[in-house]
Amino acid sequence: MKANKENIIILTPGLSGSSVLTALIKKGGYWNGEKTSILPFYDTHEDIELIKFNKLLFKSSGYFWEDPGEIPPPSIEKIKQLFDSIPLTGYLDYVKNCEQKAPWLWKDPRLTYTIHFWKQIIDLSNCKFILLTRDPMQTWTGTILRLRDPISYKNQKTIFNNCINSAVQFLDEENISYLHLRFEDLLIHSKENIEKLNAYINCNLSVE
Q: Identify the weakest region by mean pLDDT among 43-52, 104-113, 153-162, 196-205.
A: 153-162
Phi and psi torsions of 30, nearest 5°: -95, 140
Average pLDDT over residues 37-48: 89
| Cβ neighbours of residue 201 closer than 8 Å, sequence gap 6 or more | 5, 6, 8, 25, 28, 128, 179
Query: What is the C-alpha separation between 67 and 73, in angstroms, rounded?
Result: 10
Query: What is the C-alpha separation between 96 and 208, in angstroms, rounded?
Result: 34
Q: What is the pTM of this model?
A: 0.92
Q: Is the CB of residue 102 less than 8 Å from the CB of residue 31?
A: yes
If you compute the radius of gyration of the chain from its CA atoms, what whole number of angstroms results? 16
**pLDDT of 69:** 84
Q: Is the CB of residue 18 less than 8 Å from the CB of residue 12?
A: yes
Tens digit of pLDDT for each residue in 120-150? 999 999 999 999 998 877 777 766 666 566 7
What is the number of residues in the chain?
Answer: 208
